[in-house]
Amino acid sequence: MRFVIVTGVSGAGKTAALKMLEDMGYFCVDNLPIQLLEKFASLLPEMQSENVRNVALGIDARSGSALDELEVVLNRMKNTGYDYEILFMDAEDPVLVKRYKESRRSHPLARTGRVDEGIRLEREKTKFLRKRADYIIDTSHLLTRELRQEIEKIFVDDREFSNIMISVLSFGFKYGIPADADLVFDVRFLPNPYYVDELRPLTGLDDAVFNYVMDSDIAKAFADKLEDMIRFLIPNYIKEGKTSLVIGIGCTGGKHRSVTIARELFSRLSQSGDYGIRLEHRDAEKDRLLKK
């Protein structure tokens, strides 16, 4: 039986993760008082005899002052022999603030009414949980279906998981550099399909454009060097505790060259399956929409 404690900062997707685990056959309990945690764990053998195969338990800031006792309780459970895993849901502060504004909900620790203050306090209170976590999923850039894929990978397929989510993002410099990009690469030196009449209305999502760019020796060499550098950086970022990496690939309009290289990098990095990875084209269709 797998016993998973789902926790994290409020607004990062803990409730969504619990619902997904429930859909995957886990018996889920949310916001159980911490004082009952050991008693709940002692009942797991009985639950297993009732054909409950896996259990997930949600714990968050709503536990109030009892959250301070959780570290002692977890240590005691580990010493007693209870085997549990911790999934920590996280997201960047600006993303959390935006989510709270959109939902019009108040943060459980925002005593003064300011969400950013609540987030700061919660991070302090849950710091020990993040350090102890077996898995950290940063949902800052994840769609719901992408989160489900990550949850499934860990808790259903039982595949190896690195605590980092990589986003490969194509964009156009004329529309601005993405504010959340950690790494930015300028590919405006590559052959430009814009100057080929039949390719101009297409995007890097079309094979004709993709092949035009990637058939050049300079594009192949750049893709090789870029992949090599990113593969070098990823384990070092993980070692430093980074859980989200946004790689921006930019050309003039974000339509041809950046989309092509982003596709190529995504394809290469996806082959290992060692970490979560997603692909997004921010500006690929923007010219077409603006013309309309």
Angle between helices 217-239 and 207-214 (to 10 degrees): 90
Nearest CA-CA partner of 250 in 175, 194, 155:
175
Is 61 annotated in a binding site? The answer is yes
Is 62 annotated in a binding site? The answer is yes
Is 8 annotated in a binding site? The answer is yes
* DSSP SS3 for 186: strand
CA 111-116-121 angle, to 5 degrees, is 60
- Give the neighbor-by-neighbor strand order of the sheet with 276-281: 183-186, 244-251, 165-172, 276-281
Is 270 annotated in a binding site? The answer is no
Is 15 annotated in a binding site? The answer is yes
Specify whether the CB–CB gap between 61 and 10 falls below 8 A.
yes
Give alpha helix (H) positions in 10-69: 14-23, 37-42, 44-49
Is 13 annotated in a binding site? The answer is yes
Summarize the annotated binding site as residue ranges. Answer: 8-15, 60-63
Binding residues for GTP: 60-63
Residues within the annotated binding site for ATP? 8-15
